[in-house]
Chains A and B, each alone.
Chain A
Amino acid sequence: MSKATTPHFERGPRFQLRAWLLRHLQTLFSALGELTRNPLGSAMTAGVLGIALALPAGLYVFLDNVQAVGQNWDGKVQISLFLKDRIDDSAADDFARSLRLRPELRHIQLITRAEALEEYRQLSGFAEALNAFEQENPLPALVLVEPTLRYSEPGAIKGLVAELGALPAVELAQFDLEWLQRLHAIIHTLKRGVVVLAALLALGVLLIVGNTIRLGIENRRAEIEIIQLVGATDAFIRRPFLYSGFCYGLLGAVMAWLLVESGLWLVRAPLAELASLYQADFLLASLSFRASLVLCLAGALLGLAGSWLALRRHLRGVEAE
């Protein structure tokens, strides 16, 4: 067929770019229109995708918060020095002053025997029982010291604890690192679990979107055949399905975000109450902006991938050749 007889349209590079953009925009809007044409079905699909994406996202937020708590304690490495019984208040004060001269410590707080008893009375709820000891305070005086950052390293702190423990006024120097290490180990394990769960659920999202798109292809088989006969390329036929997969994934991600955030909202008030009971100032963190972005991106990409897989598998079946 000679060039002159083939349909010929204006083909400048700028025109092509504009036509390309226009075509994609049109397809995006028609894909959105397609979703709103069957609102219940679309909402249900997006809901299923939302739940599948909300599970790993929610666990991620949970672990993030637990880790933040751990880090809070991490940054405030504290050594408790329980003083010997014979040390009275003024001697304890002298001892605390002497500690201030040490360059490796940056924060020193003395809790006298009376203060310790008062605090214990308030927090433990054993006030009645403690009254029985009225003549004699069983609690030792306590000095809380905080090492400088350089001495907070796991290796350095062990030496420091041993050194402080050997001081004549000190009965016991306690630094409980173990629980922190355990917490970190637990968080690490759970994070691995979240990765595995996320991978499984991502596969689920892929299958859900794939199946939805497959049904879409089935429903429009006749239409696809017609546009193939009038000269549509594979790319032209795929485009609307890819866009609807993308929209489904994005909608699912938005749904997941809403689910996680409303879950956090529900937990926030009781958790604040719980934290106040422990005299902790703890604020449950939401999904960060970056995490939300990653969630949306992951949802959209999974939707795109799911529809791509479905098209690869099922579009061959409607080829007119």
Chain B
Amino acid sequence: MIHFDQVSKRYQSGHEALRNVSFRLAAGEMAFLTGHSGAGKTTLLRLVALVERASRGQVLIGGQNLNRLVRRKIPYFRRNIGLVFQDHRLLPERTVFDNVALPLVIAGARHQEIARRVRAALDKVGLLGKERLHPITLSGGEQQRVGIARAVVNKPPILLADEPTGNLDPELSREIMGLFSSFSDFGVTVLIATHDIELIQRMNTRTLVLNKGSLVDE
């Protein structure tokens, strides 16, 4: 589902964030992406979501070469990828329901469809009944779960998470990771960037290790 072939990314400042990175992730596979901060974890995720384009090499997502995807098709491509951020990135003036509904609204889903899917997503993350609340009134863990519900509400085949447990205590982190692995059980390809080594060791999942932009270990 995700295929990096000799991918390098050099920013205009001259900083080389990724060097000759190659790996494959099958559909339904879950993997961690780790390494010290500045190793290129976020850059790698940004290349998958087409927030950035590779300087060299090829990124293939679901068989589609991202180098050949024209600008105006990027929004439609992104609808296939669920994104979870460390700082949640929720819209503070909108309710939990509206935040989760956002990808469906953008895709032009039908009203009843939106309501049904949003409830299903919120149910999955255990927040049913908090739809009418505003994100600011929720705890950090709950906000992160709203972010996850938003990422999976339109059932994307790929789920990317950038330090999703960065601000959470170990128990909440375990809970969130459990959620992610349940999505991969349903066939979603999940790639999680994290530096929480302890958690990774406990999970016994495939791990990609980046060091100064190079993939050093699997």
Q: Which residues of A contact B (CB under 8 A)?
A: 1-2, 5-7, 9-10, 15-16, 19, 22-23, 222-223, 226-234, 236, 320-321
Contact = CB atoms under 8 A, between A and B. Distances in A.
B63 A231 contact: no
Interface string B31-62: 00000000000000000011111000000011
A6 B91 contact: no
Nearest to A1: B62
Contacts of B77: 231
A223 B98 CA distance: 13
15 contacts: A1-B157, A2-B63, A7-B107, A9-B109, A16-B108, A23-B108, A223-B91, A226-B89, A226-B102, A229-B49, A231-B79, A231-B103, A234-B75, A321-B50, A321-B74
B64 interface: yes
Contacts of B113: 9-10
A236 B52 contact: no
A7 B91 contact: no
A52 B87 CA distance: 45
Among A15, A226, A230, chain B packs the most CB atoms within 10 A around the CB of: A230
A118 B64 CA distance: 100
A116 B79 CA distance: 90
A229 B52 CA distance: 12
A231 B50 contact: no
A9 B111 CA distance: 11
Contacts of B49: 229
Nearest to B71: A321
A5 B51 contact: no
A321 B53 contact: yes
Contacts of B103: 230-231
Given A320-B51, A321-B53, A6 B79 contact: yes
A236 B79 contact: no
Contact of B91 (A226, A231, A232): A226
B107 A9 contact: yes
Given A1-B62, A321-B74, A230 B80 contact: no
Contacts of A230: 78-79, 83, 102-103, 106, 150
Contact of A7 (B52, B72, B79): B79
Q: Which 7 A-B pairs have the closest CB atoms?
A: A1-B62, A231-B79, A231-B78, A5-B157, A7-B154, A233-B75, A230-B103
Contacts of B74: 321
Given A16-B108, A231-B77, 9 more contacts: A1-B63, A1-B80, A7-B154, A10-B110, A229-B83, A234-B72, A236-B75, A321-B52, A321-B71
B140 interface: no
B62 A5 contact: yes
Among B50, B63, B80, chain A packs the most CB atoms within 10 A around the CB of: B80
Contacts of B61: 1
Contact of A236 (B64, B83, B106, B111): B106
B155 to A, nearest CB: 6
B62 A2 contact: yes
Nearest to A233: B75
Interface in B131-158: 150, 154-157
Interface in B85-115: 89, 91, 102-103, 106-111, 113
Contacts of A9: 107-110, 113
Nearest to B111: A22
Given A9-B110, A10-B110, A231 B75 contact: yes
Contacts of B75: 228, 231-234, 236
Contact of B78 (A22, A229, A236): A229
A22 to B, nearest CB: 8
B51 A321 contact: yes
A7 B156 contact: yes
B91 to A, nearest CB: 6
A16 B109 CA distance: 10
Nearest to A15: B110
A7 B78 CA distance: 11
Nearest to B158: A1
Nearest to B103: A230
Contacts of A232: 75, 106
Contacts of B52: 321
A227 B89 contact: no
A226 B113 CA distance: 22
Contacts of A236: 75, 106
B81 to A, nearest CB: 8
B74 to A, nearest CB: 7
A23 to B, nearest CB: 7
A19 B110 contact: yes
A226 B75 CA distance: 12
B110 A231 contact: no
A228 B89 CA distance: 12
